[in-house]
Amino acid sequence: MSYQSLGLSDRDQVNNSLGGGIPTGSLATLTGETATGKSVWASRLAYGMIEEGTTVSIVSTELTAREYIDQMNSLEYSITTPLLNGQLKYFYVPSHTTQDAVSRLLKPTTIWDADVVVIDEFGVFLQTDTRLSERFDRGAGADAVRKVLAGLETAQSDGTVVLTTLNPETLPDPAIHEIATTADIHLSIEKNRMGQSVARQLVVDRFQEMRRPIEDTIGFSVEQGRGIVIESRTIA
């Protein structure tokens, strides 16, 4: 089994906390409600892998390329050079698009030339396809998502890692359940208010083929100029 290292070992404890990397060919899903830090975590994982020499494609419904660059710079995750040399490819898919983005994703394109494909935010991305959206409305969400996931599995057959972020509020519960239970790696973010502060933690719900022991609960914060900062960890 080979792994994609999450890098930045001299800067934070993310790679160590998640066992030293993500197995190649994995489908990883990071779930959490709005403003919990899903996109920042996805950005940190992508940036760390880029620093290790990994090629990455990012498909986003959240930010334009300019907005993404600005956000990454604010976290001291500079991606200008990887974008210019092609190590990182960024694709913005507006949530209001009328394009058949889901079908296009599942076809052989330059997106899949990368070692890692990140889709942020997966639920919104699926809703851009009117045919899928209609099936969600008819209560056939689980079956619709199952076919998309099968398409992703075919597309990543050469060992590509797929990392998705997912807001449970964007899809019907059966569809969310299908994604969460299909993923090889399922991480979820919990946010709790404690007085005047907010405590966030990353919970490792499932991590197949782990390289080393995984910390099952990882307390963290997001800081300007530093990005993800690990604050506390618990090993089961």
Instruction: Report the candidate in 125, 46, 123, 127 with the shortest Cα–Cα distance to residue 93.
Output: 125
Amino acid identity for residue 1 in this structure: M
Amino acid at 43: S
* Mean per-residue pLDDT, 183-203: 90
Quote the pLDDT of residue 137.
Answer: 82
Q: Above 90 in pLDDT, residue 36?
A: yes
- Name beta bridge partners: 215: 235
Query: Rounded to an integer, what distance in angstroms lies between the CA atom of residue 105 and that of residue 83?
Result: 20
Rounded to the nearest 5 degrees, what angle is found at the Cα of 113, between the Cα atoms of 8 and 93? 85
In sequence order, the β-bridge partners of residue 140 are: none
- Domains, the chain, ranges and CATH? 23-188 (3.40.50.300)
Is the pTM value of this prediction over 0.85? yes
pLDDT tens per residue, range 66-76: 999 999 999 99
